[in-house]
Structure 1
Amino acid sequence: MNQLIIDLEITTDVTGPLATIAEFLAADQKPTAVFIDSDEDIESIKEFVATLSVIALNFPAFLDGRSYSSANLLRRVYGYKAELRAVGDIRIDQLEQMVRCGFNAFQLADGQNVEQGLERLKGFSFSYQPAFNREPLFRARAS
């Protein structure tokens, strides 16, 4: 089983298999966990996001950032509140930006140290630009 970082804690993945969008849409009884590749349209599941406990967005390559936009849409536009997991070629250096886009769970790529990833995430408490879940530093100082 894979180790994950979820809400700033290291845990073991017990989710089980994730349905693809095609499997999800075809199912009469909808699964509660779905895998979305970076080239798939998240609009096709927007009416179901409140019923999902896990949405895993794939980053097939370090240079493919389309899932950042999908994460932002899921959180800001569709109001998704549950686990938003980054999977695929996930590097420690990407984690802070992923949090800023709305991810709260991470399955790191092979060769990446999950403990180091957690420490990196805990190292950032402020940012200078607005993010999904934080006020920028200048607003925090003003209050």
Structure 2
Amino acid sequence: MQRIIKNDQVIDETWHLLPKDASLEGLSNCDDLLVPLNLWREHSHALKARDGGLGVWLDSDEAVEEIADDLAHFQVVALNFPAFTDGRHFSSARLLRERYGYKGEVRAIGDVLRDQLFFMRRCGFDAFAVRPDRDPYDALEGLKDFSEFYQTAADQPLPLFRRRKV
């Protein structure tokens, strides 16, 4: 069983990440599922009628604007990083939090490494599925790399000079 980082701790993964070519056939009615965007587009009515938890995952070339009107249906939005050099979903996480006001879980999946976690959290991610060949406990330490920051971001709307007490 894969372990993920959520709420600053390593926990067992409970969601089933469906592959990009998944279909409705054979899906359990009560499992918590992360479905690819294409499956959501084609079968949103059937997926909403299920009993289990529902989340969607977007590949790096898929925009959050495509699910903006449906965000209330998702407990989790997972954003795929196919390579650590592909940072397009840093912006997607900020859009989810700041433009669309999404309060559910925003999870990083794919080629997720320790060095990225601190900056991902600043953009609005709150859960991380690090690569299977990496230690999630070591990656968790990446969230502590810096103790303070000057700029505003999704995780801190006030700059440092506004937070200082005189």
The reply to whether TM is greater than 0.5 is yes
Query: 2:153 aligns to what SS in structure 1?
Result: coil
Cross-structure match for 1:53: 75
Q: 1:61-76 maps to which residues of 2 (within 5 A)?
A: 61-76=83-98
1:2-23 deviation line (CA, Å, top 9, x unaligned): 1100111111111123211111
Is 2:9 the partner of 1:9?
yes
Indicate if the aligned counterparts of 1:7 and 1:104 stay in contact, CA closer than 8 A. Answer: yes
Indicate if the aligned counterparts of 1:126 and 1:136 stay in contact, CA closer than 8 A. Answer: no
Cross-structure match for 1:19: 35
Q: Which deviates more, 65-74 or 104-113?
A: 104-113
Equivalent pairs, count: 143
Cross-structure match for 2:126: 104
Cross-structure match for 1:140: 163
Indicate if the aligned counterparts of 2:83 and 2:111 stay in contact, CA closer than 8 A. Answer: yes
* Percent identical residues: 43
Indicate if the aligned counterparts of 1:33 and 1:55 stay in contact, CA closer than 8 A. Answer: yes
- RMSD over aligned Cα atoms: 1.6
Residue 125 of structure 1: how far off its partner (Å): 3.8
Matched residues in 2 for 1:45 and 1:82: separation? 13
Please say which structure displays the higher CA radius of gyration: 2
Cross-structure match for 2:110: 88
Residue identity opposite 1:2 in structure 2? Q
Larger RCO of the pair (alpha carbons < 8 Å, separation 6+):
1
Residue 76 of structure 1: how far off its partner (Å): 0.6
Matched residues in 1 for 2:161 and 2:113: separation? 29
TM-score (structure 1 length as normaliser): 0.92
Gaps of 5+ in 1: none
Q: Which deviates more, 90-99 or 131-140?
A: 131-140
Residue identity opposite 1:126 in structure 2? E
Gaps of 5+ in 2: 18-33, 49-53
Indicate if the aligned counterparts of 1:8 and 1:122 stay in contact, CA closer than 8 A. Answer: no
